[in-house]
Amino acid sequence: MSETVTITRLGGRGDGIAADGTPVPFTLPGERVAIGRAEGCGLLDAVLDPAPERIAPFCPYFMRCGGCAIQHVAPETYAGWKRGLLVSALSQAGLAVKPEALVDAHGAGRRRITLHVRNLEGQAEAGLMAARSHDLVAIDHCPITVPALHGAPALARALSAPLGHGRKPLDVAVTATEAGLDVDIRGHGPVEPGVRAALVRLAEAEGLARLALHGDVVVERSQPSVASGEVRLYPPPGGFLQATAAGEAALTALVLDALPKGAKRVADLFAGCGPFSLALARHAEVHAVEGEAAPLLGLDRSYRAAAGLRRVTHERRDLFRRPLLAHDLNAFDAVVLDPPRAGAQAQMRQLAESRVPVVIGVACDAGTFARDAAALVAGGYALERVTPVDQFRHSAHLEMVGVFRRPPRKRTGLRRPR
């Protein structure tokens, strides 16, 4: 049975929130809408009085696919909502700092996508999951990706054939690189030699740069790499890479802008395959720390191929279980860290006890960033500025760069007795 409600605000996931607190996806503040109800959520039946900010979504899968939450709002309102996610998180953590303006870093589109392949009625289908569901929404292409990825769903379906056409659920990660598409398939497990040979033939036929199973390279026809400023990055199979090239450039520029003048030694924690490390090495010696071996191999290759860089050392270390200690951190003039979505509580506690002059925190979750920032502030750091960066356009995901500075110790004017 349908009922009429009025939407009062946008929630943190992009849902409209009704006056009684019910989230209603795909609605906007000020709208009067007809809804049904299921499991505490409003199901939109009709928009009775649309808001002036409502626009037509550009994607034919919007409202079915769970990838985008908010294609239906005008750009200015969207930017205000997205920046507001960070404003709210900082306020809840008791941090009185006003974020900078939102940086649009969508660029040409997302350069990586993970597609799910499932067997539906005897046929392999590839797509994305519906919102808050494990139901597959089969797609022809994702319009927010770069053009090189528009054929990724068809590619995922083709690659599933030797693996049972999706009868065992598969996740197919596809990254657009300058050498071609880099594909890592997960969910199947070890394969027989005949299946492996079939995958090699498919990779050749599709012109893939590399094909891997769970990070194990099946065939590499050309080393996948992407340009990052004046160097090249070599991500491992299925390895982390910023979602957009524009996002990586924006984050790197913010990190470099915060680097203290005259800094001689910098630590890059959760370094991955090294985009920040290599950029920082134009200005200072860098010690890169990462928990996985494969990204460090890529970083080392990038460093050896580049010219004009200062010394870059690297260390494999689980920073969640074995954070760098305060006395180790004191050897650096600045520390950059870009942890996963869960944040870096253990490492932040050590930084809070250190005497590092500047900490540059890059994060992909406003809540964990605010939590970690509060720990640094409690340890005596000042959060000088924080800039939100939007490389996941139309979603509730947000990147940010915060600059923390430890005030210099005040001199008392007292002399030591002789």
CB 241 within 8 A of CB 175: yes
CB 209 within 8 A of CB 223: yes
Strands 123-129 and 358-363: unpaired
**Exposed/middle/buried for residue 293 (C-beta within 10 Å: 0-12, 13-18, 19+):** exposed
Other CB atoms within a 10 A radius of the CB of residue 190 amount to 9
Given 65, 68, 273, 364, which residue is catalytic?
364
- Whether 65 is a known active-site residue: answer no
Residues 6+ apart with CB under 8 A from 326: 350, 351, 353, 354, 355
Residue 105 phi, psi dihedral angles, 5° rounding: -125, 35
Q: Is 78 left (phi over 0), alpha (psi -120 to 50) or beta?
A: alpha
∠303-305-306 over CA atoms, to 5°? 65
Q: The tokens 């996948």 sit on which residue? A: 224
Residue 147 phi, psi dihedral angles, 5° rounding: -55, -30
- Which residues are known catalytic residues? 364
